[in-house]
Structure 1
Amino acid sequence: MAKKVKDPGFGYGSFKNAKKIINEDGSSNVIHINKRRGLEDLYSYLIEIPWWRFFLFVFLVYTLINIVFSVVYNLIGIEQITPSTGNIWRDLLNGFFFSAQTITTVGYGGIAPQGLMANIIASFQAMIGLMGFSFITGLLYGRFSKPRASIKFSKNLIVRDFKEHRAIMFRLMNSRKNMMIEPEVTVTLSITEPDEKAETHKRNFYQLKLERDKIMYLPTMWTIVHELNDDSVLSKYSNEELMQLDAEMYILLQYHDEAFSQKLFKIYSYKFSQLKTDVKFVPSFLFDEEGNTILDHDKLDQLSDQKS
């Protein structure tokens, strides 16, 4: 019999054709409201966002701070750092350049504060610059040093004939050259069905039995197989019914990474709308003339007819 499990953390309540809870990159797709935010949230946000967004954030904040201080220097009198040009835009630009030299502690010497107020503001801005760049340096170190699982999953689930029955399969690949030690995978199935009593929809969760849920190491690619035998909750569905089923697979992969010398985790999910029938995965690796194993990353998602 299929092993029905308790809610793994997603909630029993659901909605017809609800969106995926797990994004393609393994992050949560849950929308938070009425949440109080703090500096720790900003740090986590800046650690997780893509590199281009991180550098864009740094550039925009840096530019905004210099614009603010440029306005301040002009309000107290641009003459306290450099003679006025008589043009407001040129004076703002001079204030901006002086602000950039101060906040970065470059100090070319072409422009220097003369009055007491300008020196006080410049001293305060230099302190902001030191603290700000220390914060950015910490973020850069955190982004580079944070261990991330480099795992790629096939785009689709497939269902095909397997032994005396059928099986649902997907593939995952080690996209780095370092070895994954003792990778272990857990697959939880969520099926959303109408709840006639509450006139809503409810999730039922099942832990799927896999052909193999743990191997010694993974240098190439691993095909995860769940056989649709009499013990499977999915065996009663035809291929066409499986494709129409409001269901989702949640995958948790954990392994020891030799490069980081610690255990890493990767989360992924598949909606059954991603299911392909009567196909099979093409071989993903081959051998060259010298006997070396060649892993072709482009073949992770490639499918062929089951009979070919």
Structure 2
Amino acid sequence: MIKKAKDPGFGHKSQKNIRGVMNKDGSSNVIHLNKKFNVDDLYTFFIELSWYKFFFFVLLGYVILNLFFGAIYTSIGIEEITPSRGNLLDDFLNGFFFSAQTLTTVGYGGIAPQGITANIIAAFEAMIGLLCFSFITGLLYGRFSKAKAAIRFSDNLVVRDFKEGKALMFRLMNSRKTVMIEPEISVTLSLNIKDENDQYQRTYYRLQLERDKIMYLPTVWTIVHEIDSTSPLYTYNTAALQSLDAEIYILLKYHEESFGQTVYQASSYSFDDLVTDVKYRPSSSFSPEGYTLLDHDTLSDIEPMA
């Protein structure tokens, strides 16, 4: 008997060719409107940034702070820290580089505050520098220590002959060298179908898998959903399957040796990725010495059915 699944939080209302709620890499497609800013969100924002964006913001903040304090030192009179060179640009550059030395608490000694005003500003800037670099150090630790899964999913969904009927399949592997311990997977199908009122509705089904949990995974795992009489895809032929407005949403969890804890990774497939009457090529082989060889470049390789 085909059983519908409860709404996983995506909602039942829909429209034609609606964009999936989740991307292939597990990131969300939800756009938040009228969300109130919270200072606590800064930590999450910087932790989730890509590395090049993270260092861009660090560099941008560093330059802005030095420009700000450099302008202050110039405005109070550059003579407060070093003799003037007679033009505004050179004086500003002296203020900028003195600010950089103060902010980082380097203090080369070539330039030093002389008056009480410059000393007060320099003392305040040094405190700001200590706080900023402590914050950045905490973010770096958080980014490196955050437990992350490193799962690669095949680029395609495959529908092929299986046993007495057909099956829906995709593959995954760990992009690290560690062994995935007790991986467990759940797959939800979302069908976008027009109802009798010409309104589009999304219906969800929890797909039954040949195996949804294994002891450990050192190589490649092919996830198999058999399209039998209990499958929500049973009434569709091959052509109809390829034209379905459908998505599958995946949640995988396993124990990651690198972090010593359970990690999660989400992903999704659109039925635009569906390929029929093909099979996956083997990704592993054996060396003459008897070692198992795993080729990461062949995860998505397919070939016609014999």
Q: If the TM-score is normalised by the length of the shorter chain, which range does it land in?
A: over 0.9
Please name the residue that 2:291 is paired with: 292
Aligned pair 1:139/2:145, yes or no? no
**Which digits, 9 at most, give the CA deviation of each residue in 1:27-48, with x for residues without a partner?**
2121111111122211111111
Contact 1:193–1:203 (CA under 8 A) maintained in structure 2: yes
SS at match of 2:4: strand
Aligned pair 1:215/2:211, yes or no? no
Q: CA separation in 1, counterparts of 2:103 and 2:76?
A: 18
Q: What is the TM-score when the length of structure 1 is the normalising length?
A: 0.97
Deviation of residue 174 (structure 1)?
1.4
Q: Which consecutive aligned stretches of 4+ in structure 1 deviate over 2 angstroms post-superposition?
A: none
Q: CA separation in 1, counterparts of 2:15 and 2:119?
A: 61
Please name the residue that 1:178 is paired with: 178
SS at match of 2:79: helix
SS at match of 2:84: coil
Contact 1:193–1:201 (CA under 8 A) maintained in structure 2: yes
Contact 1:21–1:28 (CA under 8 A) maintained in structure 2: yes
Contact 2:25–2:268 (CA under 8 A) maintained in structure 1: no
Please name the residue that 1:10 is paired with: 10
SS at match of 2:46: helix
Q: CA separation in 2, counterparts of 1:191 and 1:172?
A: 23
Please name the residue that 1:277 is paired with: 276
SS at match of 1:61: helix
SS at match of 2:289: coil
Amino acid corresponding to residue 247 of structure 2 in structure 1: E
**Which digits, 9 at most, give the CA deviation of each residue in 1:205-242, with x for residues without a partner?**
00101111111101111000011111111011121211
Deviation of residue 151 (structure 1)?
0.6
Unmatched tracts of structure 2, length 5 or more:
none
Deviation of residue 23 (structure 1)?
2.0
Contact 1:14–1:203 (CA under 8 A) maintained in structure 2: yes
Amino acid corresponding to residue 133 of structure 1 in structure 2: F
Amino acid corresponding to residue 190 of structure 2 in structure 1: S
Contact 1:254–1:264 (CA under 8 A) maintained in structure 2: yes
Q: CA separation in 1, counterparts of 2:7 and 2:161?
A: 31
Please name the residue that 1:256 is paired with: 255
Contact 1:152–1:175 (CA under 8 A) maintained in structure 2: yes
Amino acid corresponding to residue 43 of structure 1 in structure 2: Y
Q: CA separation in 1, counterparts of 2:220 and 2:67?
A: 52
Aligned pair 1:31/2:34, yes or no? no
SS at match of 1:5: coil
Amino acid corresponding to residue 305 of structure 1 in structure 2: P
Please name the residue that 2:73 is paired with: 73
Contact 2:24–2:269 (CA under 8 A) maintained in structure 1: no
| More divergent stretch after superposition (126-135 vs 12-21) | 12-21
Q: CA separation in 1, counterparts of 2:195 and 2:228?
A: 27
SS at match of 1:108: coil
Q: CA separation in 1, counterparts of 2:182 and 2:7?
A: 27
Please name the residue that 2:163 is paired with: 163
Deviation of residue 108 (structure 1)?
0.4
Amino acid corresponding to residue 29 of structure 2 in structure 1: N
Amino acid corresponding to residue 111 of structure 1 in structure 2: I
Deviation of residue 16 (structure 1)?
1.4
Deviation of residue 200 (structure 1)?
3.0
Amino acid corresponding to residue 181 of structure 1 in structure 2: I
Q: CA separation in 2, counterparts of 1:87 and 1:130?
A: 32
Q: CA separation in 2, counterparts of 1:15 and 1:131?
A: 49
Q: CA separation in 2, counterparts of 1:78 and 1:36?
A: 42
Amino acid corresponding to residue 215 of structure 1 in structure 2: I
Contact 1:3–1:208 (CA under 8 A) maintained in structure 2: no
Deviation of residue 258 (structure 1)?
2.5
Deviation of residue 18 (structure 1)?
1.4
Deviation of residue 88 (structure 1)?
1.4
Unmatched tracts of structure 1, length 5 or more:
none
Q: CA separation in 1, counterparts of 2:250 and 2:35?
A: 28
Please name the residue that 2:93 is paired with: 93
Q: CA separation in 1, counterparts of 2:242 and 2:54?
A: 39
**Which digits, 9 at most, give the CA deviation of each residue in 1:135-159, with x for residues without a partner?**
0000000011001001100011011
SS at match of 2:22: coil
Deviation of residue 66 (structure 1)?
0.5
Contact 1:188–1:207 (CA under 8 A) maintained in structure 2: yes
Q: What is the TM-score when the length of structure 2 is the normalising length?
A: 0.97
Q: CA separation in 1, counterparts of 2:225 and 2:256?
A: 26
Percent identity, aligned pairs only, is 60
**Which digits, 9 at most, give the CA deviation of each residue in 1:102-133, with x for residues without a partner?**
00000001111111111111111100000000
Please name the residue that 2:228 is paired with: 229
